């Protein structure tokens, strides 16, 4: 009889089983927070949905805040990666490349209402999530700076103007999506993406004037 290699169970290593449990917990948290809200997230509830024992929950995450923050960061990273890929794949004008990036990042989130709810609404329900949201907005702003320099070939020396503009774009877009999610903006999915794209392009086009003012 052939014995399984040490540390394996049904063909999966200890690390693979640990990662599988972690993934199931994150998927369960996505469903619970995304459909019922952050207040509905409990260790018992997420473990039951993930089919993971409480002991294994604490093996993967120290507490519920850590689980929620990890999920939020994962959603944001995925959206940013998709946006970067869309910009890189677009061979059009600078405006078309900006629209490609905006469409990718907004679409990544709003096409799954659970993702949009977590990133744009539920983050306000926890101090830990708010800290993560602020950090992620700085990351998004830094990505806009990075991509703006790639797309428009902006010379060095305009860091303050680019940083200020990117923060305004990030904050404005987030608030616009929040209003849309709440039903306060009478446009469809593509209309929302077009609005955010128009807003982003207009702000970036103002960069030279802003830079002159900040000299």
Q: Is the pLDDT of residue 19 over 80?
A: yes
CA atoms within 13 A on the CB side of 134: 6
20-73 per-position pLDDT tens digit: 999 999 999 999 999 999 999 999 999 999 999 999 999 999 999 999 999 999
**Best CA proximity match to 29, nearest among 17, 20, 38:** 38
Give the end-to-end CA distance of the chain in Å, rounded to a whole number. 78
pLDDT at 124: 76
| Residue bearing the bigger pLDDT, 192 or 138 | 192
Mean pLDDT rounded to a whole number for the chain: 85
Mean pLDDT throughout 98-104? 90
Residues of the chain above pLDDT 90, percent:
43
Question: 8 pairs with which residues across the strands?
Answer: 13
Q: Give the model's pLDDT for residue 54.
A: 94
Weakest mean pLDDT among 12-26, 79-93, 122-136, 137-151:
137-151
SS3 content of the chain, % helix, strand, coil (to 5): 80, 0, 20
Binned at pLDDT 50, 70 and 90, residue 149 comes out as low
pLDDT for the residue numbered 174: 86
Closest CA to 140 of 179, 101, 113, 90: 101
**3-state SS assignment for residue 134:** helix
**Cα gap 193→105, rounded to integer Å:** 9
Give the pLDDT score at 49. 97
Residue 3: pLDDT band by 50, 70, 90 thresholds? very low
Residue 74 pLDDT: 94
Cβ neighbours of residue 165 closer than 8 Å, sequence gap 6 or more: 144, 203, 204, 206, 207, 210
- Beta-ladder partners of 13: 8
Q: What is the mean pLDDT of residues 122-135?
A: 80
Is the pLDDT score of 8 beyond 70?
A: no
């Amino acid at each position: 009889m052939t014995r399984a290699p040490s540390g394996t169970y049904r063909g999966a290593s200890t690390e693979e089983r640990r990662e599988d449990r972690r993934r199931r917990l994150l998927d369960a948290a996505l469903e619970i927070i995304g459909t019922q809200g952050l207040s509905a997230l409990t260790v018992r509830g997420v473990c039951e949905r993930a089919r993971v024992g409480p002991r294994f929950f604490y093996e993967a995450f120290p507490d519920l805040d850590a689980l929620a923050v990890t999920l939020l960061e994962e959603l944001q990273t995925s959206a940013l990666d998709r946006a970067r890929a869309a910009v890189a794949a677009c061979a059009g004008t600078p405006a078309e490349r900006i629209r490609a990036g905006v469409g990718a990042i907004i679409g990544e989130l709003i096409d799954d209402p659970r993702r949009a709810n977590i990133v744009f609404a539920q983050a306000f329900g926890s101090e830990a999530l708010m800290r993560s949201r602020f950090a992620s907005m700085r990351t998004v702003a830094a990505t806009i700076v990075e991509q703006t320099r790639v797309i428009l070939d902006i010379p060095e020396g305009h860091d303050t103007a680019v940083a200020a503009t990117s923060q305004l774009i990030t904050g404005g877009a987030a608030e616009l999506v929040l209003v849309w999610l709440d039903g306060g903006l009478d446009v469809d999915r593509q209309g929302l993406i077009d609005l955010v794209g128009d807003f982003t392009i207009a702000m970036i086009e103002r960069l030279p004037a802003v830079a002159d003012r900040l000299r």
